[in-house]
Chain A
Amino acid sequence: MAAYRGHRMNPDKFDKGQIKIYLLVLPMVLLCGLPIIFIIFHAFKPMEELFAFPPKFITTHPTLDNFRKLMKASRAAGIPMSKYVFNSIFITVVVVAGSLLFSTMAAYSLSKLKFKGRELMMQINQIALMFVAVAVMIPRYLVVNKLGMIDTYWAEILPLIALPVSLFLIKQFVDQVPDSLIEAAYMDGAKEWQIYWKIIVPMIKPAIATAAILVFQQVWTNLETSNYYINDDSLKSLAFYMNTLTSTTTTNTVAGQGVAAAASLIMFLPNLILFCILQKNVMNTMAHSGIK
């Protein structure tokens, strides 16, 4: 036997040694993937297949019935589903845009501009990675209440804009931009905001894409804001509405399950699509994600 020579990560082509790895990884891939595929099948099942006994995994006659029922259910409740869709899209767009703008600005500042308190700010943000949101739900509610934002869009937007993970990831990425580039632009008379907009932003696109995914996930599926800060049904989000449909009473009936599956598919798909489109950027950003 030849001496061990060290193997290569990220191989270019398949070799027999990889079969072992496939055997190791595949069970978990199946365990993670099957439930998702199941939800997709379930959402398109017609009534007779939902009631089929024994229950079937695969849908043989796909139909949009469940989605139609989902639309009808909302009309019965007085507020059309389009209103929830509008609320969610509006809130999501504003939060993602605001979050990306503010985090990139802060990241540029914390990474490249020198001022007092900068290290401390970065450290506090790093500690904030550890704050479990549930733990501060109550005081957060008190803050939102005190600011008079209950029953306004503000309550669904402002609390979600600052996301420590996304600032952290973007800042790590800005660190990679060479100082010399900024110095040169500065010597040419560029203003701070020009450097930010014309040099930094174009160079950190992968990190921006990654942050976009993370923020999107936070907002799109967020239940906390609608649940606790909003009493007016017409201001609540799609996630909230979907959740009422999937509550215990409806999922207990077999017919309700199909509708619930359709609802959860609608909540899940945008996440998946966004991630698929941007996944290359994510890996690029994660390479710099370490805490030193």
Chain B
Amino acid sequence: MQTKSKVGNRMHSNKNGYLFVLPYALLFIIFILAPVVMAVILSFTNFNAIQFPRFVGFLNYINLLTSDEVFMKYVLPNTVKYALIVGVGGYILSFLLAWGLSNLTKAPRTVFALILYSPSMTTGVAMSVLWKIMFTGDQTGYLNSWLMDIGVINEPVIWLTNVDFLLPIVILIGLWSSMGVGFLSILAGLLNVDESLYEAAAIDGVKNRFQEMIYVTIPSMKPQMLFAAVMQIVGAFQNGTIASLLAGNPTPGYAAQLIVNHIEDYGFIRYEMGYAAAVSVVLLLIVQAFSVLSNRLFGERD
């Protein structure tokens, strides 16, 4: 017992383990975990950022579900639409593009992957400038000028205050920047699928590339599919803030008000922090629901 203690010790209870993990763990707890716990606690209070939070039970949640007309009429439907198209649709798009790229030779694949990934690097500042210029509301705007040129419209559309176009624009931008870390993960997964699986599947009667994708490719890269799904849905919601950068908060007629903008509105404009926290918790639950769903689809069950 005594003689093998050194190695044995290392394998079982190693105090150095705590030392190595400590700096990260501390910062993680203070700046990531504690804020999430606080959000949950604050969501049960009335808090205006000045006075001490007052406990109100489920009042914020009840108000959210029963008397927040903006939430029910605009924010929720917008968010569902956005999440389905940019979250789920963007994910499928990422997969199809990655699959396409994996069937190309290395040089074009690398260049295309870089181009497809680049929008997800243009966060915040760069993104809002770009789209503001594109969607300028008079005839000097690029989209207006171009659409008038080919005769689709006769007079300039004021895109960013137009209630009909605002949500589609935000969705389009969301899709445009969909090919992020998740996309790269899927691409790497596709390139690492064991070649012999395809040969074996062909012998077993797989007839075309589509069947191959469903029966061989996806099942053999489930972990990457799951990671990408989580990244995609989080990224989609994070990018939703572009709506307030483009059109202000609240967006005109609440046309593109998403749940993230609703949080900003209550938290940083109205200073109803308890209520904003309740909306935040709902957002975290929505993301959680999506990830449970992805887990059902791609989780490895023992």
Chain A residues with CB under 8 Å of chain B are 3-14, 18, 21-22, 24-25, 28-29, 31-33, 35-36, 38-39, 42, 53-55, 57, 101-103, 105-106, 108-110, 113-116, 118, 121, 124-125, 128-140, 142-143, 147, 158-159, 161-162, 164-165, 167, 183, 186-187, 192, 196, 214, 217, 221, 223, 228, 239, 242-243, 246, 248, 251, 254, 257, 260-261, 263-265, 267-268, 271-272, 275-276, 279, 282-287, 289-292
Contacts and interface: CB of A to CB of B under 8 A. Distances in A.
A265 B260 CA distance: 26
Contact of A53 (B139, B188, B208, B268): B139
A11 B103 CA distance: 6
A200 B54 CA distance: 50
B20 A108 contact: yes
A4 B208 contact: yes
A118 B198 CA distance: 38
A35 B28 contact: no
Contact of A35 (B104, B130, B181, B283): B130
The bracket for how many chain B residues form the interface is 35 or more
Main secondary structure of the interface of A (DSSP, over half): helix
Main secondary structure of the interface of B (DSSP, over half): helix
Contacts of A6: 198-199, 201-202, 206, 212
Interface in B243-302: 248, 260, 263-264, 267-268, 273, 276-277, 280-281, 283-284, 287-288, 291, 300
Given A25-B112, A32-B179, A272-B118, A167 B36 contact: no
A118 B17 contact: yes
B123 interface: yes
Contacts of B32: 128, 131, 136, 162, 164
Contact of B284 (A103, A135, A261, A267): A135
Contacts of A223: 124-125
A134 B238 contact: yes
Interface core residue of B31, B131, B139 (most chain A CB under 10 Å): B31
A127 B14 CA distance: 25
